């Protein structure tokens, strides 16, 4: 595999301009695995210059060629599935079993979807005497998080490049290995120099240099709401387009027409779903809203579900929850657990400290609180760990009120025997994507948030259009 000591710029692996490095820590052992360069503004400038130079040729190339490169990249990633899954399991703590399917399988699938969407998209249409063209916006700065490092990079890069844009990727320094593999594959398949460039570094240095760069036409960012606000401020200096996929505090609403078996299944599934990637998922439905009369049953089912979860080494094929990605993330989650106890929420499962028998790694105990009140910190703020809040509601209107009473609006869920009733509640939620009775997977469904969960959408035609400018050409009549 390519050395971690260089950046990928203009089709080549190039040395950094500084000797500063960043350690990448194994979430299981707490030991340093490798180091990556801490990119400076000069490195970002070189990457942006390469992307700017490649833009005219790439944007003028047939979309079929651009789409074909995405398919080749998908094939290259597929050949490296085991290595990528193992690296991400160590970086993020996700079980390697899940990592194969989610951290690698989904990006492969999404590359193919982006190729198909771009290949069938009408970049030019006519309305009477007006020609409406959709043209690539230009150079795109892609800044991606550590929780789904390859998935989020592909969500941006695949749609940007098939649209005709060139990109500079700044991955999270916590989990950067997938970015190096992506660069290696892009080089291997012969992607034209400068179309894809990659620089590692911290947000305050490399990230801000990319966001504020005058030759960057757009920034696509996934990460925390606090960081998204800072990116918006910096980007305003050059009035560039910014799309943001930020935090979430999603509600999973169970309505009162579910029978006991369906209710129990929804509670158990809700607990497990909220713990995906050890809760390190922006769209996790971390507030479980249940009818007040069934609060006790919800607590019993949740406690039993947690008791059956296997917490441990991500490389054990039976493990369902591994560690969190970093010491700081573990400490953050522990603080929220202590906050929930101090605020008077009922501790149903888990609690402070590491799971029994584990003395190494960034582990926390999968935790469930009940009778959580809307004003509590654990009900309002994104925790990003395996902590679920069960909240009682007094009917559909009350459930909607509670669900919408947060600063976020990324996702949600509604469960009911009457699907039409559930869908009616879903329409009232201030959230970008709502699953009704579990929903059906749609790789082209737009994904993004309301309110402080961000702006813009990823995936499918909506995701493609984020990277396009609209031009009207008015022809004379007759």
Give the mean model confidence (pLDDT) for residues 318-340: 97
272 contacts 366 by C-beta, under 8 angstroms: no
Which residues lie below 8 Å from residue 75, measured CB to CB, with a gap of 6+? none
CA distances from 387 to 29, 434, 460 (A): 23, 20, 31
Integer Cα distance of 162 and 325 in angstroms: 32
For residue 173, what pLDDT is reported? 97
Q: Based on the number of CB atoms within 10 Å of its own CB, is 21 exposed (0-12), middle (13-18) or buried (19 or more)?
A: middle
Give the mean model confidence (pLDDT) for residues 255-270: 98
Q: What is the mean pLDDT of the chain?
A: 97
Nearest to 93 by CA among 29, 23, 180: 29
Q: How many CB atoms lie within 10 A of CB 410?
A: 26
Q: What is the pLDDT of residues 228-254, one digit of tens each?
A: 999 999 999 999 999 999 999 999 999
Give the mean model confidence (pLDDT) for residues 72-97: 98
Structure tokens at 365: 């105990």
Q: What domains are defined for the chain? A: 7-246+453-474 (3.40.605.10), 251-442 (3.40.309.10)
For residue 475, what pLDDT is reported? 97
Q: What is the pLDDT of residues 436-445, one digit of tens each?
A: 999 999 999 9
Integer Cα distance of 321 and 361 in angstroms: 12
Confidence of residue 219 (pLDDT cuts 50, 70, 90): very high
Integer Cα distance of 405 and 213 in angstroms: 37
Cα-to-chain-centroid distance, residue 139? 21
Which residues lie below 8 Å from residue 288, measured CB to CB, with a gap of 6+? 251, 252, 254, 267, 270, 271, 274, 298, 302, 388, 389, 390, 391
For residue 2, pLDDT over 70 is answered with no
Q: Is 418 helix (H, G, I), strand (E, B) or coil?
A: coil
Give the mean model confidence (pLDDT) for residues 186-208: 98
Q: What is the pLDDT of residues 95-141, one digit of tens each?
A: 999 999 999 999 999 999 999 999 999 999 999 999 999 999 999 99
For the entire predicted model, the pTM comes to 0.96
Which residues lie below 8 Å from residue 13, measured CB to CB, with a gap of 6+? 2, 3, 6, 7, 183, 187
Measured at the alpha carbon of residue 317, what is the angle toward residues 314 and 318, in degrees to the nearest 5?
A: 95
CA distances from 132 to 119, 226, 470, 473 (A): 18, 37, 7, 6
Integer Cα distance of 260 and 320 in angstroms: 26
Integer Cα distance of 48 and 213 in angstroms: 8
Q: Is 450 helix (H, G, I), strand (E, B) or coil?
A: strand
Which pairs count as long-range contacts for 352-356, CB under 8 Å and 24+ apart, including other chains?
A: 355/311, 355/312
Beta-bridge mates of residue 135: 469
For residue 1, what pLDDT is reported? 46
Nearest to 152 by CA among 127, 130, 125, 172: 172
- % pLDDT > 90, the chain: 99
Integer Cα distance of 214 and 260 in angstroms: 59
For residue 176, what pLDDT is reported? 98
Give the mean model confidence (pLDDT) for residues 282-311: 98
For residue 405, pLDDT over 50 is answered with yes
What are the φ and ψ backbone dihedral angles of 249, each rounded to 5 degrees?
-145, 65
* Active-site residue, selected from the candidate residues 208, 245, 299, 466: 245
Give the mean model confidence (pLDDT) for residues 135-155: 98
Integer Cα distance of 287 and 252 in angstroms: 6
Q: State yes or no: is 165 an active-site residue.
A: no
> Max Cα separation, the chain?
81
What are the φ and ψ backbone dihedral angles of 162, each rounded to 5 degrees?
-70, -25
Q: Is 31 helix (H, G, I), strand (E, B) or coil?
A: coil
Measured at the alpha carbon of residue 412, what is the angle toward residues 377 and 379, in degrees to the nearest 5?
A: 10
For residue 268, what pLDDT is reported? 98
Confidence of residue 282 (pLDDT cuts 50, 70, 90): very high
How many residues does this entry show for the chain? 478
Q: State yes or no: is 282 an active-site residue.
A: yes
Secondary structure, 3-state, 128-159: CCEEEEEEECCEEEEECCCCCHHHHHHHHHHH
Lowest mean pLDDT among 1-10, 156-165, 270-279, 461-470: 1-10
Give the mean model confidence (pLDDT) for residues 432-437: 98
* Active-site residue, selected from the candidate residues 91, 173, 282, 382: 282
Nearest to 230 by CA among 143, 359, 317: 143
Give the mean model confidence (pLDDT) for residues 154-158: 98
Nearest to 288 by CA among 301, 274, 278: 274
**CA-based radius of gyration for the chain:** 23
For residue 478, pLDDT over 90 is answered with no
In the chain the first and final C-alpha atoms are separated, in Å, by 61
Integer Cα distance of 17 and 424 in angstroms: 56
Which residues lie below 8 Å from residue 18, measured CB to CB, with a gap of 6+? 37, 38, 39, 40, 42, 43
Structure tokens at 360: 């190494």
DSSP state of 288: E
Integer Cα distance of 152 and 169 in angstroms: 11
């Amino acid at each position: 595999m390519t050395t971690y000591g260089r950046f990928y710029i203009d089709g080549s692996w190039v040395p950094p301009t500084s000797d500063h490095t960043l350690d990448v820590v194994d979430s299981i052992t707490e030991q340093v695995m490798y180091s990556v360069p801490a990119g400076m503004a000069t490195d970002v400038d070189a990457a942006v210059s390469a992307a700017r130079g490649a833009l005219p040729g790439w944007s003028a190339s047939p979309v079929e060629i651009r789409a074909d490169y995405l398919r080749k990249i998908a094939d290259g990633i597929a050949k490296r599935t085991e290595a990528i899954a193992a690296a991400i399991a160590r970086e993020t703590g996700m079980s390697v079993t899940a990592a194969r399917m989610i951290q690698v399988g989904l990006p492969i699938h999404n590359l193919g979807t982006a190729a198909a969407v771009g290949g069938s998209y009408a970049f030019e249409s006519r309305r009477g005497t007006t020609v409406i063209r959709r043209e690539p916006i230009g150079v795109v700065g892609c800044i991606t998080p550590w929780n789904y490092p390859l998935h989020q990079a592909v969500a941006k890069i695949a749609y940007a490049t098939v649209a005709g844009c060139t990109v500079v990727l700044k991955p999270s320094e916590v989990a950067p290995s997938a970015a190096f593999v992506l660069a290696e594959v892009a080089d291997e398949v012969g992607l034209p120099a400068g179309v894809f460039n990659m620089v590692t570094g911290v947000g305050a240095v490399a990230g801000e240099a990319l966001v504020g760069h005058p030759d960057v036409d757009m920034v696509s960012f996934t990460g925390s709401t606090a960081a998204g606000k800072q990116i918006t401020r910096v980007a305003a200096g050059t009035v560039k387009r910014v799309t943001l996929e930020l935090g979430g505090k999603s509600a999973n609403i169970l309505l009162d027409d579910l029978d006991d078996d369906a209710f129990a299944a929804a509670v158990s599934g809700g607990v497990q779903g909220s713990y995906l990637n050890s809760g390190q998922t922006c769209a996790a439905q971390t507030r479980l809203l249940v009818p007040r009369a069934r609060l006790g049953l919800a607590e019993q089912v949740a406690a039993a579900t947690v008791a059956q979860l296997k917490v441990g080494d991500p490389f054990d094929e039976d493990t369902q929850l591994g560690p969190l990605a970093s010491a700081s993330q573990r400490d953050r989650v522990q603080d929220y657990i202590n906050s929930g106890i101090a605020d008077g929420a009922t501790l149903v499962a888990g609690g402070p400290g590491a799971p029994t028998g584990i003395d190494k790694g960034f582990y926390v105990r999968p935790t469930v609180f009940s009778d959580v009140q809307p004003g509590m910190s654990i009900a309002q703020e994104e925790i990003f760990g395996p902590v679920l809040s069960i909240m009682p509601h007094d009917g559909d209107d009350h459930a909607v009120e509670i669900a919408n009473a947060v600063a976020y609006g990324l996702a949600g869920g509604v469960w009911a025997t009457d699907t039409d009733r559930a869908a009616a509640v879903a329409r009232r939620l201030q959230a970008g994507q709502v699953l009704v009775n579990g929903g059906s997977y749609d790789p082209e469904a737009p994904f993004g948030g309301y309110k402080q969960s961000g702006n813009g959408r990823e995936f499918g035609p909506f995701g493609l259009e984020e990277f396009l400018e609209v031009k009207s050409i008015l022809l004379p009549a007759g």
